[in-house]
Structure 1
Amino acid sequence: MRSIAAPQGGTLRSTPMPASNFRADHRDTPSWLLVAAMMLSFLVAQQDDRFTVDPLRAVPAILSLLALGGALAIGRYSARPRLAAGARAFLQMTLFTLFGVVLAYALAAKSGTLWDARLAAADRAVGFDWPVVLALLDQCPPLIWLLGLAYHSLTVQMIVVIVALSGMGKFDTLRTMVCAAILSGFVTILISGLTPAMGNLFDPARYVHLWPSIAWMEQGLISGLRDGSLRVLDLTMLMGIVSFPSFHATLAAIFIWAFGAMPRLAGPGRAWAILTIVATPVFGGHYGVDVLMGLLLAPPAIVAAQRLTQRRQPCPQPGPGLPA
């Protein structure tokens, strides 16, 4: 892939640049390779179960991918690096979401014994007492709304981070953030295939104000994947089913790091992401250990992404006085 890199804090002008400058930078390649690996993993994982895609409901996803691909092409070939960087990031994250969710479905379809009892026991050993937490939270509707909106705003956070980083010319941070998100997401999906779980379920009918968690609403989906009754993919209704580790927590932690590159947004952005992490056990239906493990995955994912996407030093070219 071809891209234009600029200093993180410098001024960037949309001026034509030699084609060789586009071809010299391959720092987006790791993210593309990770997306390809996820697609291949899905194809391998679903061989025994044979998932199909509802063609009509695939149209919105296809149109979105085409629009992002078109924006990327326009940005690259019209020397508009901010447009290219933003479109590339959205395209990579959209493909990651599609392949990641269907890979999680394929792994859930062939997963073994549920780990809920072990994860619940780990929560008790750590000291999480969810009945007490839920009862206290149910008495504070404003806090429920605050945390609930924060949890369900993770996609909005991603949009804000991508638009802000690309608009400010923070291309290195944007590239690292996207790579870290895809890498950690891939890892969480693979781990979840070995540790399947329905989630930290609670019946919302027992409470006055609490909302149903995502895990509560996904019970039928997970059961259908496990018993073989669900094999047609509706790309307009894909739901994340990973319990352990919590990718919601991992991605929010990565956003906390990314917001640090934007001083004016760092305070509110990080507070927003922290609220999302706090809300994840209740509104995502996660165990506490899911969230802790998700948070532990974020730092190594960022470090690995930084190394994968760092600029490679060009090989020295022979000068006029040196032998070729």
Structure 2
Amino acid sequence: MSFLAAQYHHRFTVDPIRAAPAIASLVALGSALAIGRYTARPRLAAGATAFLQMTLFTLLGVVLAYALAANAGRLWDARLAAADRAIGFDWPVVLALLDTCPPVIWLLGLAYHSLTLQMIVVIVALSGMGKFDTLRIMVCAAILSGFVTILISGLTPAMGNLFDPSRYAHLWPSIAWLEQGLISGLRDGSRRVLDLSMLMGIVSFPSFHATLAAIFIWAFGAMPRLALPGRAWAILTIVATPVFGGHYGVDVIMGLVLAPPALRAARRLTRHRQSFHRVDSALPA
């Protein structure tokens, strides 16, 4: 469906050479899954399955986001900025204050850009500890909420909460600032070749960064030794998202609102699979 959407009105093509790393990753993960199942190593199989599903979601989800951006209507930035002002977000003041604290910038910046690393840690830890039910719910919730944010963003396209980093002494360029050309190219038709090795998230409202970090907070809670540092790491990511992701405050709020229903829906969707495994494990050998 994502690739079909990419052909609606605006025909996209895939760079075959740059698609090779993505294909190689899928083959490697599929091989690890097969080995885990063949050798009866459930932890390897669970981890490989989770990584394979998240990789596929990233590829298909970003393709869908690009297709929706290419067909999107008027930008919502004025309305999102007005909503921020209405609830008291004064970004010029926040940015000026943050620019005076380089250590805080580094801490928050590294937290924001470590979301993929957080996902790796969560998947490896949950699969390594044999917490397969939690892993399954987390991955399902991440994929469900991810596609929901992409679909909503297609109806509410935005460039993001942009600020010029050259006006500040220490602040880093936000992702929204760096992706201006990509979004403009998708909208005006000049970007129609998909580089699967450099797929960038372009969703502004709601913030999937915030949603995924909130889901990780829930997942870290299933691992007592990692709960405190893991949750602190994810919370820092959420705090950093408006500045380093170039999000409006309402983007982050909406992203956080999406996490609980995504987890509830994922728990229901995976309940049958969990029950099957419990019955199967109770059968005599």
The counterpart of 1:299, out of the listed 235, 251, 260, is 260
- Superposed, which structure 2 residues align to 1:112-131 within 5 Å? 112-131=73-92
Cα deviations across residues 7-41 of structure 1 (Å, max 9, x unaligned)? xxxxxxxxxxxxxxxxxxxxxxxxxxxxxxxxx14
Any gaps of 5 or more consecutive residues in structure 1? 1-39, 315-324
Q: How big is the shift at 1:311? A: 3.0
Q: Which amino acid aligns with 1:136?
A: L
Indicate the residue corresponding to 2:209 in structure 1.
248
Q: How far apart, in 2, do the equivalents of 1:48 and 1:199 lie? A: 25
What is the alpha-carbon distance in structure 2 between the residues aligned to residue 236 and residue 53 of structure 1? 11
Helix, strand or coil at the partner of 1:309? helix
| Matched residue, 1:75 | 36
1:32 matched residue in structure 2: none
Question: Structure 2 unaligned runs (5+)?
Answer: 277-285
Structure 2 match to 1:284: 245
Matches within 5 A, 1:1-324: 40-311=1-272
AA of the residue aligned to 1:240:
G
Query: 4+ runs of 1 displaced by more than 6 Å?
Result: none
Spell out, residue by residue over 1:38-96, the C-alpha distance to the aligned partner (whole angstroms, 9 max, x if none): xx144134332111011100000000000000000010111100000000000000000
Computing the radius of gyration over CA atoms, which structure comes out larger, 1 or 2?
A: 1
What amino acid sits opposite 2:233 in the alignment? W
Structure 1 position 176, deviation (Å): 0.2
Question: What amino acid is the match of 1:86?
Answer: G
CA-based RMSD: 0.9
Q: Which structure carries more helix by proportion? A: 2
Contact kept? 2:6, 2:66, Cα under 8 Å: no
Matched length: 275
Q: Distance in 1 between matches of 2:82 and 2:5?
A: 33
- Percent identity, please: 87
CA contact (8 A) 2:2 2:63 kept: no
Report the AA paired with residue 155 of structure 2: L
Give the distance between the partners of 1:214 and 1:248, measured in 2 at CA.
Answer: 12
Query: Which secondary structure does the structure 2 equivalent of 1:285 belong to?
Result: coil
Q: Is the Cα contact below 8 Å between 2:6 and 2:12 reproduced in 1? A: no
Normalised by the size of structure 1, how large is the TM-score? 0.84
Q: Which amino acid aligns with 2:16?
A: P
After superposition, the C-alpha distances for 1:171-197 in whole angstroms (9 at most, x for unaligned) are 000000000000000000000000000
Report SS of the residue matched to 1:307: helix
Which amino acid in the other structure matches residue 215 of structure 2? I
Separation in 2, partners of 1:90, 1:144 = 30
User: For 1:310, what is the secondary structure of its paired residue?
Assistant: helix
Separation of aligned partners in 2, 1:295 and 1:109: 26
C-alpha distance in structure 2 between counterparts of 1:46 and 1:253, whole Å: 33
Counterparts of 1:102 and 1:221, CA distance in 2? 13
Q: What's the offset of the Cα at 1:199?
A: 0.1
Distance in 2 separating the partners of 1:191 and 1:46: 19
Secondary structure of the corresponding residue to residue 57 of structure 1: coil
Aligned partner of 2:280 in structure 1 is none
Query: Would the aligned equivalents of 2:6 and 2:63 in 1 still touch at CA under 8 Å?
Result: no
Task: Give the distance between the partners of 1:205 and 1:48, measured in 2 at CA.
Answer: 37
User: TM (normalized to structure 2)?
Assistant: 0.95
